[in-house]
């Protein structure tokens, strides 16, 4: 007798391999699988920092490459290990069957069959053997090398059927029986089972080899590859951080330079090194900053020339206008005695001369504001008297309702506040509807010490009449000018205090220069106050002026000997600083 399929090489698998190391097996893939799932979840996040995005991209690429290489290495090593162990065990089992079972008689005694199984189990491949045959009396003998480890119940039925089935002889098949094998994993324990039948109605033999050692080796390999993947990921993250720092450092310098440029430091430039894209970007930034600086300097020079021109022209026009104004006043006094054909022309000349004089005065005032030479002369003034005088001087008493309690004394420049009031009330009368309401109120802060002293005096004197309370000191005065007109259009409201701005471009030329409200705003700023414009819900516009009450020792005119003040005075040296009164209306 001889072993089946001695010329069939490594034998044949009975069914598709029940792989204990496949995706459905019990062997874990190690930390690589966990890291892969983590990266998939992190990839769904959106990073706001370019540095984080670069690190994430580098780490993702490195992790993907490491997992891919580790997976290929694992599967190649797994296949090589299992194939080597399987072939070595099956080849040794076939040779042992031929050597130990082939020498037995056709129906060997059970004792001889058991001895043969024991000799075969002593192989260096460490597998167990089970032999099945019939003795001379026709009784079935089953010999097992280790009854506690390997019994016939562990051999799959499909494998038993394949081993015991005779094959038809042909040119491609010269043996009746073949060697078959199968890998299994019952209860998480992988093992290899193989079987063959001796030709000539000889015994049938099965081998059983545990693959626990190989599983341990593959587990170690998987964990080693997982650790290598994790180290590769950490290395990629560090490399990405270094690369990101190298790439983003010029970008950060560019951002800092852009911020400095936005803050007005037009001389900001970048140091350019290299010839890459970032260096080209730095060169482009330097060129743009240089062009911007030149443009701003050019515009500043033009603006300075324009201011100088306005100041010079205002100053030059003032002298001849003084003479023309004197002549027009004489003509106005004699207008009633002139020829009726000439009287309208004379009155037109008088009005236009006054308008031109007001315009020149406004331009000179604006020039003082721009040059920083405008000063305020603070005096204690009763606000109610100041408002009444402003209205009375312009004959507006019949068109204005005044709500101004007396006794509100504030330190201010009466000439400049008169200009502001004239502008606000005049605009309300011109563009709104009568009556115009002017209200004055004070925000007061009582002196705590004075109140305590008065209370103490009242208790000590025990007089029934109350003692005179000390006068409260107003900290702020609020003046509101309200009209009953249609209000200010929403698109015009943000620009009402802009210079030369007119809500209606087609408005008649003689209705105003567009400087009145801007001059009012500058005068209020000199006092440290604010002025706002808004529309009332019930209709009409409301202008609110808030003036603080500075202490007596405060000086709003500034230090005349400071470098800034000297520069401003030098800039406006051709401007006449005489503070002549003018209405300054829009």
Q: What are the structural domain ranges in the chain?
A: 12-18+30-229, 266-373+562-567, 376-461+468-557
Using alpha carbons only, what angle is made at residue 400 by residues 472 and 543, rounded to the nearest 5 degrees?
65
CATH architecture of 376-461+468-557: 2-Layer Sandwich (3.30)
pLDDT tens digits, one per residue of 360-382? 777 777 777 777 777 888 899 99
Considering the entire predicted model, what is its pTM? 0.46
pLDDT digit string (tens) for the chain, length 586 residues: 444 543 343 455 554 344 444 433 333 344 444 455 544 444 444 445 777 877 888 888 888 888 888 889 888 988 888 889 889 999 999 888 888 887 788 788 888 889 988 989 888 888 999 999 888 788 889 889 888 888 888 889 888 888 888 766 555 555 545 788 888 887 778 889 999 888 767 788 999 998 888 888 888 888 988 898 888 888 888 888 888 787 778 888 888 999 998 888 888 898 888 888 888 888 999 999 999 999 999 998 888 887 787 777 777 777 788 888 888 888 888 777 777 788 888 888 888 888 787 777 777 777 777 777 778 888 999 999 999 999 999 888 888 998 989 888 989 999 999 989 998 998 888 888 778 999 999 875 544 344 445 455 555 554 444 444 444 566 889 999 999 888 888 888 888 888 777 765 544 444 566 788 888 888 899 888 999 999 988 888 999 999 998 776 544 444 444 444 444 444 444 434 433 333 333 3
User: For domain 12-18+30-229, which CATH number applies: 3.30.450, 2.60.40, 1.10.3470, 3.30.1490?
Assistant: 3.30.450
Instruction: Take residue 77 and report the two structure tokens written for it.
Output: 């090593």
Give the residue carrying structure tokens 């370019």.
Answer: 50
The number of beta carbons lying within 10 Å of the beta carbon of residue 296 is: 12
Crossing angle for the helix pair 383-393 and 414-431, nearest 10 degrees?
Answer: 50
Lookup result for tokens 């015009």: 492
Taking Cα atoms as reference points, which of 116, 113, 199, 121 lies closest to residue 164? 199
Long-range CB pairs of 567-573 (<8 Å, 24+ gap) are 568/371, 568/372, 568/373, 569/371, 569/373, 571/371, 571/372, 572/311, 572/367, 572/368, 572/370, 572/371, 572/372, 572/373
- Under DSSP, is residue 342 helix (H, G, I), strand (E, B) or coil? coil
Architecture in CATH of 266-373+562-567: Orthogonal Bundle (1.10)
Tokens of 197: 């039948």
Q: What b/e sequence results for 260-279 when a residue is b if at least 16 CB atoms lie within 10 Å of its CB, and e otherwise?
A: ebeeeebebebeeeeeeebe
Structure tokens at 317: 């026009």
Distances (CA, A) of 380 to 34, 112, 391, 410: 82, 136, 20, 5
What does the block give as tokens for 390?
Answer: 């402003």
């Amino acid at each position: 007798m001889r072993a089946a399929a001695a010329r069939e090489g490594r034998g044949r698998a009975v069914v598709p391999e029940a792989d204990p190391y496949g995706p459905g097996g019990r062997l874990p893939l190690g930390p690589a699988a966990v890291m892969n799932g983590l990266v998939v979840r992190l990839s769904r996040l959106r990073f706001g920092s370019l540095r984080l995005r670069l690190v994430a991209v580098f780490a993702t690429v490195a992790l993907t490459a490491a997992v891919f290489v580790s997976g290929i290495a694992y599967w190649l090593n797994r296949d090589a290990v299992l194939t080597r162990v399987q072939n070595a065990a099956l080849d040794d089992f076939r040779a042992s069957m031929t050597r130990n079972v082939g020498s037995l008689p056709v129906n060997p005694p059970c004792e001889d069959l058991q001895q043969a199984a024991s000799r075969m189990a002593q192989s260096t491949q460490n597998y167990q053997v089970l032999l099945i045959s019939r003795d001379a009396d026709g009784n079935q003998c089953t010999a097992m090398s280790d009854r506690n480890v390997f019994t016939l119940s562990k051999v799959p039925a499909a494998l038993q059927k394949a081993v015991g089935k005779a094959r038809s002889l042909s040119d491609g098949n010269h043996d009746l029986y073949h060697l078959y094998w199968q890998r299994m994993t019952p209860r998480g324990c992988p093992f290899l089972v193989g079987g063959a039948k001796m030709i000539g109605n000889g015994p049938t033999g099965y081998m059983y080899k545990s693959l626990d050692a190989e599983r341990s080796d593959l587990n170690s390999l998987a964990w080693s590859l997982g650790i290598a993947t994790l180290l590769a990921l950490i290395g990629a993250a560090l490399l990405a951080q270094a690369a990101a720092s190298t790439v983003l450092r010029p970008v950060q310098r560019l951002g800092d330079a852009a911020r400095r440029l936005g803050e007005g430091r037009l001389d900001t430039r970048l140091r350019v090194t290299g010839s890459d894209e970032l260096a080209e970007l730095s060169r482009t930034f330097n060129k743009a900053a240089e062009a911007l600086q030149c443009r701003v300097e050019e515009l500043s020079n033009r603006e300075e020339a324009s201011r100088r021109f306005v100041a010079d022209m205002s100053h030059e026009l003032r002298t001849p206008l003084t003479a023309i104004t004197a002549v027009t006043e004489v003509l106005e006094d004699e207008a009633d005695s002139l020829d009726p054909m000439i009287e309208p022309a004379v009155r037109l000349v008088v009005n236009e001369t006054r308008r031109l004089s007001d315009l020149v005065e406004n331009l000179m005032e604006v020039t003082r504001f721009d040059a920083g030479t405008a000063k305020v002369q603070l005096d204690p003034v009763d606000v109610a008297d100041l408002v009444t005088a402003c209205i009375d001087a312009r004959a507006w008493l019949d068109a204005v309702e005044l709500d101004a309690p007396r006794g509100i004394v504030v330190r201010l420049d009466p000439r400049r506040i008169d200009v502001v009031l004239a502008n606000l009330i005049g605009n309300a009368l011109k563009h709104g509807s009568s009556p115009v309401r002017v209200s004055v109120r004070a925000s007061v802060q009582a002196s705590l010490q004075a109140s305590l002293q008065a209370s103490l005096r009242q208790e000590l004197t025990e007089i029934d009449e109350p003692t005179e309370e000390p006068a409260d000191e107003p900290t702020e005065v609020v003046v509101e000018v309200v009209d009953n007109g249609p209000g200010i259009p929403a698109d015009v409201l943000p620009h009402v205090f802009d210079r030369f701005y007119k809500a209606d471009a087609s408005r008649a030329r003689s209705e105003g220069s567009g400087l009145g409200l801007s001059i009012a705003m500058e005068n209020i700023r000199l006092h440290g106050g604010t002025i706002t414009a808004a529309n009332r819900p019930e209709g009409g516009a409301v202008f609110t002026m808030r003036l603080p009450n500075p202490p007596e020792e405060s000086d709003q005119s500034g230090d005349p000997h400071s470098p800034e003040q000297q520069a401003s005075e030098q800039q406006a040296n051709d401007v006449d600083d005489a503070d002549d009164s003018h209405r300054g209306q829009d």
